[in-house]
Amino acid sequence: MPTIALISAIAVVAFQKTVEWRYGTMGVVGLLFLTVGLKAKNHTCSSIGAVILTLMFAGPAL
């Protein structure tokens, strides 16, 4: 059981660092809002996070 927890923690940290490297601080903020909203079952918070991530992934419209 501790091995599974360690592997999942490493995967989460690696994903967070990848998002921060690729999309900057706003990507991490969006991911934080989304995960906190999902864990707390708060639809407003998770929607804010989803909108932030969508805007970050979509990029500027040309």
pTM for this predicted structure: 0.68
Task: Provide the domain limits for residue 40.
Answer: 2-56
Q: Specify if 62 maps to a domain.
A: no
Name residues whose C-beta falls within 8 Å of residue 36's C-beta, 6 or more positions apart in sequence: 42, 45, 46, 49
Q: What is the C-alpha separation between 26 and 20, in angstroms, rounded? A: 8
Kindly indicate the confidence band of residue 12, based on its pLDDT and cuts at 50, 70 and 90: confident
Q: Specify if 25 maps to a domain.
A: yes
Given a contact cutoff of 8 angstroms between Cβ atoms, the answer to whether 19 and 27 are in contact is yes
Q: Specify if 10 maps to a domain.
A: yes
Q: Specify if 50 maps to a domain.
A: yes
Q: Specify if 36 maps to a domain.
A: yes
- Residue 59, CA atoms < 13 Å, CB-side half-sphere: 2
Count of domains observed in the chain: 1
pLDDT (tens digit per residue) in 34-60: 889 989 999 999 999 999 988 888 877
